[in-house]
Every structure is written in structure tokens, then in C-alpha cells.
Structure 1
Amino acid sequence: MTTAVLITGASSGIGRAAALRLARRPELTVYATARRPGAVAGLAGAGARLLPLDVTGEESMAAAVAAVEAEHGSVGILVNNAGYGEYGTVEEADLDRVRRQFETNVFGLARMTQLVLPGMRAAGRGRIVNIGSMGGRLVFPAGGYYHASKYAVEALTDALRFEAAPFGIGVSLIEPGLIRTGFGDTAARSLAGSGGAAGPYAALNAATDRQMSAAYGSKLLSAPPEAVARVVERAATAARPRTRYVVTPAARALVHTRRLLGGRVFDAYLRTRFRTPRPAAAAV
């Protein structure tokens, strides 16, 4: 019997690339999922099986896991990939939109994990691969709420890795840097809608938008989703997977720079990248 792989958010980007790569392995049966089944229809030709799955809906999540367990006994490998970025300053961001982001990035990941763990424990084996971000190790301005969701994934993964190990379940965290998917466009749209053109953070938001556009457009600073898919394959199939995988040279450099330099020096570095005029003093 093959090992069942369940991938969330497989309609595009990292999830789609991971589904295509893992589906090549004859020992794996890949279940590619998305909220809209039509969004993953093209993956069937690559050998993946398709399931509807909305990580913000309890019935949808439970049904997807039950479908896999009915055929395979348990989910062998869960790839928690679904996620997106809600951008805007801490003051201006719409908290209802932030809550929806956390439902996908954090609580959806957590609930999917809860649903597959009983079957994995009964089988005495399993693998959980969480897609985090270098944004769970450092923070850029106007992205605080997105980074907070990825910091939460870091904490959950560290706790889960220890808790699940006695049951033969391995847990790894993948921390991609800038990946050329639709993520940057989604983040830019949310940033544009978070504050007015004459608002107090307009200059910062504009600088953030310029930085994101330039960075995602740079082949030196960013990478295609296939770069992450290769690492997902290693984390999912290695006999002794790493606890963390940082993806892209630029991400590794930034993570180590932030760790070594500390907060004040990293803030100074950010000021050179996000130059904005000093706000005028408010009238008293």
C-alpha cells in the first residue's frame, strides 16, 4: 500500500509544485486539495487525486481527512501549506481581515494537525510538514500581522515536534524566503487597501510596496516554487528529517543576520531599505 500525502492549498504556488513533485514518486499517493476543486483539476493528469478542502471550515477539513483514512487507514504525510499574507501597519490594518488570515495560516493548520494525529498515532508513524516562512524569524514593516501568524506556526511546530515524536511521527518546518508565486500580489493588494493615500503611514506603505515589487522581481533575491517543493520532498521522505529548512540563499542570509545583529542593528538596516520622510509633528 502506498503512503497517503495530503497537501492543503495546492491550487497554485508552493502547494501545486509540491503536489506535482511528490506525485512522481510511486510509493506515494498524493491528495491535492483546494477550496474550489476546479482549481486543482490540472493536477489529476500528473497522478494526484483531488479533494475539496477549506481549512477555515470544520466539516470540509474533517471530510477530507476521513476520505483519505477510509482508503489508507491514516494520512501518512500532511503538508500544511495553505496560507497568505494580510499586510498593513499595526494601527491601520483591518482586524477582521487579520482574523481571517489567522484562521487560514494558524488555526487551519492546527485543526488539520489535530484531525490527522489520531490516525498517525494508531499507525505508529507519520510525517507533518508545516510551511512557515523566513517571516517567522524576522519582521519587515507593514507586515506585522502576517509575521505574527508565521511566528505562531514556529511555536506550534516546535511544541508538536516534541509531543509527536514518541508516537513515531516526525515534524518539520520549512521557512521559505521570497518565492515567486501569487503571494506578493496578494500582499500588495491588502497593503494598498489598508491605509489612505494621505494617511500617516502612506510613505511607509509606498516604500514597502516598492521593496516587495523589487524583491519579488529579482531572481537573485527570490526563487520559483519548485525550490520549495524540492525541500518539501526531502522533509516528507527523509529517514531523519531536519527540524527546520530555510529555503533560498537570501533567506538564510537574512535569518542569520537578524539573529547575529540583534534588534537595534536590524532596525538600522531596515531604515536603509524603507526610507521615508520624517512625519510632521502633529498640531497641539
Structure 2
Amino acid sequence: MGKTILITGCSTGIGRMTTKYFHQKGWNVVATVRSNLEKDEELNALENVLVVTLDVTKEESIKEAVTTAIDWFGKIDVLVNNAGYGAYGLLESTPEKAIKMQFDVNVLGTLLVSKHVIPHMRKEGEGTIINISSMGGKITFPLGTLYHGSKFAVEGMSEALSFELEALGIKLKMIEPGMINTNFEKTVMRNLYFDLSLQEYGEFVQRVLSGMKYIGSSRSEPIIVAEKIFEAATDGKKQLRYIAGPDAEEIITTRKQLDDDAYMAIMKQQMGL
């Protein structure tokens, strides 16, 4: 029946493009969405693409989706933990609920979906788990305490998990995209936490937001990430990290060459701080 990939977060952006890309390559795809799967006419119309409801914050939903995928296609060869979003803003202004949700989706969701796919791969003696990190898991921008914290967590837990999975014949890999032309920025603006009454932050926030527009002016298309995911899924290498996008290549390479003080000085300069 060919190989099967399960991808979380396929409603938009990277997940949706990756679904279509793997479908074009002849794979079986389990495309998971949080809700309204019956309305997704585009994905439902694709042969050998199964659209399934999966909410990464609800363990029962994860169990049901994984079981359905295995029952339908017989095997999960590759898992892509793509579901995630960015919450930016001042920590002082951010509600506890929003703090928990950022980590529930980006961190705990990745862990729980992996936890429920690993037993299947362990029995098969093979498989690949690909976690979508970010260049934001290697560097930070101001106002990104929550988002960068969650992606740094993805980097650390993925690296650590790779040791135990290697003993089972399972590969673990990470994709580190740069700025991608998706609805990420709109989501960030919807989740931008800034209390106008905290006037002491006012000038700082305005400068950061202006600087963000400059930094984010050059974006890659989601196909860049889909192609990198396909490479990671099929190259047979034990390589842990894959960078996606020229901006990510440049920024991550530069960060490796700088100490903390030098990096933060450059970031402040770019932000006009």
C-alpha cells in the first residue's frame, strides 16, 4: 500500500502543504485537523488522504486518531508533529491560561502525540518522528518569551528523546524553518498580549513591532518546508536537524558564531532598542 505519514495541524500553512506534497509523491497521508474535518473538501477529495480529527491538547483525541490511522492504512511510517502557533507579548500582560495553552499545544502536544505513536513504531522496529521546531528554537526575538520558550523546549526534548528511540530503530528529526508565508503572523497578532495601561513598556513595544516588520519582510513559501520534511523522511540519515529557508540558514549560522552579548547587541540594534 505504500508508506504512510501522519501529520498534525493540517488545516492551513505548513501542514496543509506537506499533506499535498506527500500525496503527490505517492504516500498515504493521515492529515489531522482540530475540527470541521467534513468541511475540508480539498483534502477529503485527495485519494489515499485520510482526514481525521485530532486535538493535540486532548489525549483521548490523540489516541483515537492514531488508532484510526493504523486501522485504515495498517502502519504509520512517519509522524510529523507540526501543530503549533505563536503567542507573543509582555509576560506581565499575559493571562495564565494563555501561558499554559502555548505550552500545551507546542510542547505537551508534541510529546503526547509522539508517546502514542512510539509503541506502534517500537513493535514495527522502525519509523521516523519529525518535530517542527523553528529558527525560533535557536534564537530569540523580543516579546517572544512564550513562543521561543516552547520551541527551545521542542529542541531539547527532541534531542534527548532521540537517544532512547535510536535503540528501537526509530529516527527522530527536527525541522527548523525561518519566516514562512503562512497565517503565523496573523495568529501572533491575535495572541499579542500588551496591556495599554502599562505605559512603561509603550516605547519598547512600538520599537519591537516596527523591527519585527523589517525582519519578517522576507519570507519563504510553505513548499520549502514540505520539501525539507520529505528529505528528512526519506534520506535514511541519522541527521537530527534540518534548516528550512535561507533566512533561517543565515540567522542560525550567525548565532552559532556569536556569544550572548554580541547576539543581543545585534538584535537590539535591529529593533532600534
Residue of structure 2 in register with 1:282 after alignment: none
1:241 positional shift: 4.9
Query: Structure 1 counterpart of 2:261, which letter?
Result: R
Structure 2 SS opposite 1:235: helix
Normalising by structure 1, what TM-score?
0.90
Q: 1:238 to 1:40 in 2, by over 3 A?
A: farther
Query: Structure 2 counterpart of 1:273, which letter?
Result: Q
Residue of structure 2 in register with 1:254 after alignment: 251
**1:272 is the counterpart of 2:252:** no
Query: Structure 1 counterpart of 2:61, which letter?
Result: S
CA contact (8 A) 1:92 1:194 kept: yes
Residue of structure 2 in register with 1:59 after alignment: 60
1:240 positional shift: 1.4
User: Residues 83-138 of structure 1: CA distance to partner in whole angstroms, max 9, x if unpaired?
Assistant: 00010123332232011011100001000000000000001111100000001111
User: Residues 151-180 of structure 1: CA distance to partner in whole angstroms, max 9, x if unpaired?
Assistant: 000011101111101211111100001111
Structure 2 SS opposite 1:56: coil
Residue of structure 2 in register with 1:31 after alignment: 30
RMSD: 1.6
CA contact (8 A) 1:86 1:145 kept: yes
Write the distance in 2 (CA, Å) between the matches of 1:6 and 1:190: 28
Residue of structure 2 in register with 1:122 after alignment: 123
Residue of structure 1 in register with 2:111 after alignment: 110
Q: Specify every segment of 5 or more residues in structure 2 that has no aligned partner in the other structure, as ranges.
A: none
Structure 2 SS opposite 1:129: strand
CA contact (8 A) 1:7 1:79 kept: yes
Structure 1 SS opposite 2:166: helix
Q: 1:8 to 1:200 in 2, by over 3 A?
A: same
Write the distance in 2 (CA, Å) between the matches of 1:149 and 1:30: 27
Range with greater deviation from structure 2 (36-45 or 113-122): 36-45
1:24 positional shift: 1.3
CA contact (8 A) 2:85 2:106 kept: yes
Write the distance in 2 (CA, Å) between the matches of 1:131 and 1:268: 28
1:144 positional shift: 1.3
User: Residues 28-75 of structure 1: CA distance to partner in whole angstroms, max 9, x if unpaired?
Assistant: 210111111146431123332110111111111110001112234432
Identity %: 36
CA contact (8 A) 2:212 2:271 kept: no
Structure 2 SS opposite 1:65: helix
1:246 positional shift: 1.1
Residue of structure 1 in register with 2:230 after alignment: 233
Query: Structure 1 counterpart of 2:258, which letter?
Result: L
Residue of structure 2 in register with 1:50 after alignment: 51
Write the distance in 2 (CA, Å) between the matches of 1:212 and 1:42: 33
**1:175 is the counterpart of 2:176:** yes
Q: 1:215 to 1:45 in 2, by over 3 A?
A: farther
Aligned residues: 271
Range with greater deviation from structure 2 (202-211 or 241-250): 202-211
Structure 1 SS opposite 2:175: strand
Structure 1 SS opposite 2:203: helix
Residue of structure 1 in register with 2:204 after alignment: 204
Query: Structure 2 counterpart of 1:94, which letter?
Result: P
Write the distance in 1 (CA, Å) between the matches of 2:143 and 2:150: 14
Structure 1 SS opposite 2:105: helix
Write the distance in 2 (CA, Å) between the matches of 1:40 and 1:247: 27
Residue of structure 2 in register with 1:11 after alignment: 11
Q: Specify every segment of 5 or more residues in structure 1 that has no aligned partner in the other structure, as ranges.
A: 277-284
CA contact (8 A) 1:234 1:241 kept: no
Range with greater deviation from structure 2 (136-145 or 256-265): 256-265
Write the distance in 2 (CA, Å) between the matches of 1:198 and 1:272: 24
The structure 1 segments of at least 4 consecutive aligned residues displaced by more than 6 Å after TM superposition are none
